[in-house]
Amino acid sequence: MKQMELEHRSGALSLNINGRLIDLSTPQVMGILNITPDSFYAGCRVQTEEAIAARVAQILDEGASIIDIGAYSSRPDAVHITPKEEMNRLRTALEIIKRNHPDAVVSVDTFRADVAAMCVEEYGVSIINDIAAGEMDRRMFETVARLNVPYIMMHMQGTPQDMQKDPHYDDLIKEVFLYFAQKVQQLRDLGVKDLILDPGFGFGKTVEHNYELMAHLEEFAIFELPLLVGVSRKSMITKLLGISPQDALNGTAVLNTIALLKGADILRVHDVREAVEAVRIVDKINKGN
């Protein structure tokens, strides 16, 4: 696996973002913009126009290359909101980004095909980030194929409302790999070119499952696709260490560094500056100079 990991990190992977190739030989940082009232991490909830504008500026100033905007909370036991409410929240934020940072690369975190289409067609959003990999809206795959934008698909067992009730796997790594193999084939058959895999830390997984997944992370190189890791301030840190999300920055930095050493191409984070620093350090080690 070590040789495969090195080949994966050799610079062959890239993403086509609005006609511009993004080289992933140096990992990218994706900053989280939560416009929900009930995100699990209170420090990253923003809702007023002023707060949204300030958060966007912070994400970009601290060095993120992608803004990931979410209007539907996917924390365990999250409140289910309507597509109309999700769209209204997104329109407010996307208008601000378009006005203040028209060249920013924006990803929208949604599992709904209609919401994805609205964001791309009306606001030029660059990437669709789907926590359900098409499982919660069967029209998502064909919609992404039509929109012709990069697609992040995440592994999740269940839905945000029930995913942590009693997650169980007979063979976690085998089941996650099979899940992705089937999804990748479906999307390739539809002509989708730019795919990103997200193992789904914290989504339908126990603390033990999450660390098993991290231990095998380099094996995802077999797919020869970009790998996104999102562990920022999650329960795999807080439950293990007995701390709150507010106190989980150090644990997040440790796991982000491990993920980078194991081949992560994109880090999805609340704390951009610290992630950018981790990328710079690991990149220095990987490139050996």
Kindly state the helix (H) or strand (E) to which residue 185 belongs, with its residue range.
Answer: helix 172-189
Give dist(CA 55, CA 4) in Å, integer. Answer: 38
Which pair of tokens denotes residue 224? 């020869």
Tell me whether residue 268 is one of the annotated catalytic residues.
yes
Catalytic residue of the set 234, 239, 262, 273 = 234
List Cα–Cα distances, 45 to 33, 37, 170, 262, 288, in angstroms: 8, 6, 36, 30, 39
Which pair of tokens denotes residue 188? 């390739």
Give dist(CA 188, CA 239) in Å, integer. Answer: 38
Tell me whether residue 234 is one of the annotated catalytic residues.
yes
Give dist(CA 86, CA 88) in Å, integer. Answer: 6
Token pair 């914290």 is found at 202
Catalytic residue of the set 268, 273, 280, 287 = 268
Eight-class DSSP state of 78: P
Q: Hey, which residues are catalytic here?
A: 234, 268
